Chains A and B, each alone.
Chain A
Amino acid sequence: MTAEVAGAVPRPDRHRRRLDVGGALVCGASILLVLAVVGAGLLTRYNPTEIVGTARSAPSSAHLFGTDQLGRDVFARTLFGGQQTLTIAALSTLLATVVGVPIGLFAGYVGGLRAGVSMRVMDVLLAFPGILLALIIITIGGTGRGSAILAVGISFVPVFARVVYGSTQRARAEEYIAAAKVVGCSSLRIMVRHVLPVVLIEVVVLASSAIGWTTLLSASLNFLGFGVAPPTAEWGADLGAGTRYIAQAWWISAAPGLAVTLTILLSNFLGDYFAKRLSAPRADVVAATPTELAAAPAAELTTPRGT
């Protein structure tokens, strides 16, 4: 009759989750995309920078996506181009995470004037369109892959800082944070041990969506000519090069364009999937377990709570 009987409260049920078909499809497709790009050399016999056929020939069995303005294989260029685009996207997302998360965590937890100032700086950066900010950084740092990673990464730092700042502020108000302070934990310990694990869930969701945004931004920079140098294949650069022949040979632009679109779609779906999966009502944050409720007589559950 009392709720204090040992073993009455079972472990929260975690494994009885129904298979999520949509989630499995999105994860599978994402893995396939990455594998195809990483293993580009195994999927095509053509060298992406070598002239292998007549210029601007339409898609055929020999050249699945046709050939480009110089006679290079578009399928090979699209696969190898992904290596450039996705590397820039992944590394810049990593950069934005590594820089943005500590800024948001610190500002959100410590608060005060310094936090206010750093978040206002983030707000100013956030107010710039990403492409403009990236172009400013390119102007300072010059073109090239490293500079593109830096530019895209820095453009997304405020996004991560903002999100982490907000969720840190929410986490900071938790009673168990007050309890950790009373116990004697340092601010650093509380941030790392108590706040970061909560915030990381949102960071995972954000980062998986951000891959799409950084892909778009890095393709845009390359489209404008501020990325990798020709003849290296890259989605944005190839898309840009194909625009001059769009009336005669649409496939030159279409293939890398579709690749960018697919990446952004998958990344957004992946973000949604993680958001749903990680924030689903968890057994360990529900107020009382069903067994506990069953163990206590109904009358006792209506006991009014004090201040």
Chain B
Amino acid sequence: MTHPPAAPLLSVDDLVVTFRSRGLFTRRPPVHALRGVSLHVGRGQTVGVVGQSGSGKSTLARTVVGLERPDSGTVSLSGEVVAGTAESLAGLRRHVQMVFQDSLTSLNPRRSVLATLAEPLIVHRTVPRSGIRDRVAELLQAVDLPAGYMARRPAQLSGGQRQRVNIARALASEPELIIADEPTSSLDVSVRAQILELLQQLQRDRGLSYLFISHDLHVVRHMSDVVVVMKSGAVVEVADKATLYATPHHEYTKELLAASPTTRLALARSAARGRSRFADQPG
């Protein structure tokens, strides 16, 4: 891979995704999930994506990691177009990983933590077979879980612990970019801050970039350098964090900010809560 110095890590250009229901007897109108979305994520940067349900945030995430096929437009990584073709996906998958919203359903209930975390190592052959156990232990350590959890199954973990396993799985192939699709929305409020703190710490330690998707303006503000506001499958505003929250331009952004009680409340709450929670280590 060549890295033109100017190219951002991830470039999404004019991405269009349309869902058509094809059936013998059913004809529903196509759903335009993404109508020409463009955005860029620089190295080490976190780009937040906000928008209501149905704004296309999750479709964007799934298209970037290759789970959905774009009708048109491109996804490029370090200047190389990766979306669309099968060969390029194999390369993409090592460099771009995803943390899913639901920590329970995104882990196979029948497989142990070890089996789940070993899978990327086996598939990409990054570690010799004999070294897999040690590497999995390292991954668990990176997400503050004891190595003894290897033998556990998802049902034997709490929501926060499961999401840590999800993050460890995303880290396993040593990606440059992690797409986090509402990584905390399935979690208890008490655990959310810990997971966000973990993501930030991993970013500092490993120079990761994040495409951070959330409907929660407070969380996005907390995490992101740049915020992208989406509505009905299109980007309506892109601004750096400070500008967006201080002087929103688009009407929809203003509506979102006005409609979110968390914007002001949460600031007060997190100040009151102090940082003691972040120090909470799972056993």
Contacts and interface: CB of A to CB of B under 8 A. Distances in A.
Contacts, number: 131
A300 B184 CA distance: 13
B97 interface: yes
B92 to A, nearest CB: 9
Contacts of A12: 155-156
B108 A194 contact: yes
B214 A306 contact: yes
B53 A183 contact: no
A11 B57 CA distance: 36
Interface string A274-307: 0000000001111111001001100011010111
Given A185-B119, A284-B110, A307 B100 contact: no
A5 interface: yes
A98 interface: no
B261 interface: no
Interface in B54-113: 54, 57-58, 62, 65-67, 90, 93-94, 97-98, 100-102, 104-110
A176 B116 CA distance: 10
Contact of B215 (A185, A296, A307): A307
Contact of A307 (B107, B169, B172, B182): B182
Interface in B108-159: 108-110, 119-120, 123-124, 146, 153-159
A196 B84 CA distance: 28
B272 interface: no
B185 A306 contact: yes
Chain A contact surface mostly: loop
A9 interface: yes
A198 to B, nearest CB: 8
A182 B177 CA distance: 13
A178 interface: yes
Interface residues of A, number: 45
Nearest to A177: B108
A6 B164 CA distance: 14
A197 B191 contact: no
Contacts of B225: none
B123 A183 contact: yes
Of A6, A178, A306, most B-chain CB atoms within 10 Å: A306
Given A284-B109, A303-B189, A178 B67 contact: yes
B188 A3 contact: yes
Contacts of A11: 156
A181 interface: yes
Contacts of B190: 1-3, 296, 300
Nearest to B104: A287
Contacts of A285: 109, 155
Interface string A173-213: 01110111111111001000110011000000000000000
Interface of B: 52-54, 57-58, 62, 65-67, 90, 93-94, 97-98, 100-102, 104-110, 119-120, 123-124, 146, 153-161, 166, 169, 172-173, 182, 185-186, 188-191, 194, 214-216, 280, 282-283
The 3 closest A-B pairs by CB, nearest first: A6-B283, A306-B185, A284-B155
7 contacts: A1-B190, A2-B190, A4-B160, A5-B282, A174-B105, A179-B100, A284-B153
Given A182-B98, A301-B188, A306-B214, 13 more contacts: A3-B190, A3-B191, A4-B161, A4-B283, A6-B282, A6-B283, A12-B155, A181-B67, A186-B123, A300-B190, A303-B189, A306-B101, A307-B58
